[in-house]
Structure 1
Amino acid sequence: MNAAGGRRPITVLLADDEHLVRSGFRMLLEVEDDIEVVGEATTGSEAVERARALRPDVVLMDIRMPTMDGIEATRHIAATNGLDRVRILILTTYDTDEYVAEALAAGAGGFLLKDAGPTELLHGIRVLAAGEALLAPRITRRLIAGFIARRTADRRAEERLAVLTGREREVLALVGRGMSNAEIGAALCLSPATARTHVSRAMGKLGARDRAQLVVVAYSTGLVRP
């Protein structure tokens, strides 16, 4: 289906081992003018293969699947050359600290629970496709910050942040608070394009794949506190 205004639709790959779940997602997504389901996968290894072949904008990824779980599949996709722009939205019934941390560390750009409503899911897909990060409302920043901080306690904050300019630190802090490029620009009296440039430079210097990993860095270094 063509997106409104002639723009290319957001392409989505569905990865879940339950047929009814995939069918439900497909029915929900295919009525949207700006979203197109381009494929399905029933195992983690198949999700990796399909992602490499189809190069979708967003992968809806379940965690518990046969042959390879969704977190390991996410790790493989994130490490594949040429798939830098593929965003992975983890969808699961489990919201434990470890799942959240592992998913973000593996390269996921977002995390939603399967009981999220249709509006929340559609919003999540569009947010990730636009390059933003997304965390389910029920997954608190305190939860993520505490777990990540324990796992990365051996890395001194000042050493890690030393590569950033003062402005880039300011931008990183605002990314950590969940602000978009437009909101960061307004807060710092910058254009959205300039804010985006600072975000990109911070990602490059810190080795972050996307904004979700910048959020992790902001909390784990103490730049932003829960």
Structure 2
Amino acid sequence: MTDEESTPRAPGAPGLRERKKQRMYQAVSEAAIALFLEKGFEKVPVAEVAAAADISKPTLFRYFPTKEDLVLHRFADHQDEAARVVTTRPAKRTPLDALQRHFLDGLERQDPVTGLCDHPAVRAFHRLLYGTPSLVARLYEYQDHSEQTLAEALGGDDPLTARLAAGQIIAVQRILAMENWRRIDAGESADEVWPDAVAAANRAFGQLRSGLSPKHG
């Protein structure tokens, strides 16, 4: 028995099999992204990624249904993030207040998801992502999933109203992140962009708050 197998697992923590699976996802995704950054997304066949990761092509597709998912894996944990923020918020905090605070915290940490990160590796990854049409299209599918889960978390008597609210919130987060990334890509530092990014986020969430119903805002 290995040390990892014999180590007690904390309640709610992933088991050994799940941890191995997560490591596999990470290793294959990183190998793929390195190749895509070196040669270009369209010029690297999936078979080459599988060879670099030392797995078979069928095994790769068991982990990643599409070639695009090899890149978008980095966003996989964020698909349900907005929903988690809403469902785990303090009882007296509104969903929109919780989401705004979470986004502002992300700006403070320079979380790449907010677009406010000038680390060279993150900048290269974002150029790959936003410079590849098929990746952008796949990213929209991830965001659609985010809207669905957020709408479910918002709840209410009218599912359409919840979905409309979720769509507006996810769109605002996307637009804010894209504006931050646009300025970073143009050569500004994260520290230079940060004050404007905070002001823009507060303004955008203020506009959401004035337009959404009391229940969701």
> Same fold by TM-score, threshold 0.5 exceeded?
no
TM-score for both structures, normalised by structure 2: 0.29
By percentage of residues, which structure has more helix? 2
Q: Is the radius of gyration larger for structure 1 or structure 2?
A: 2
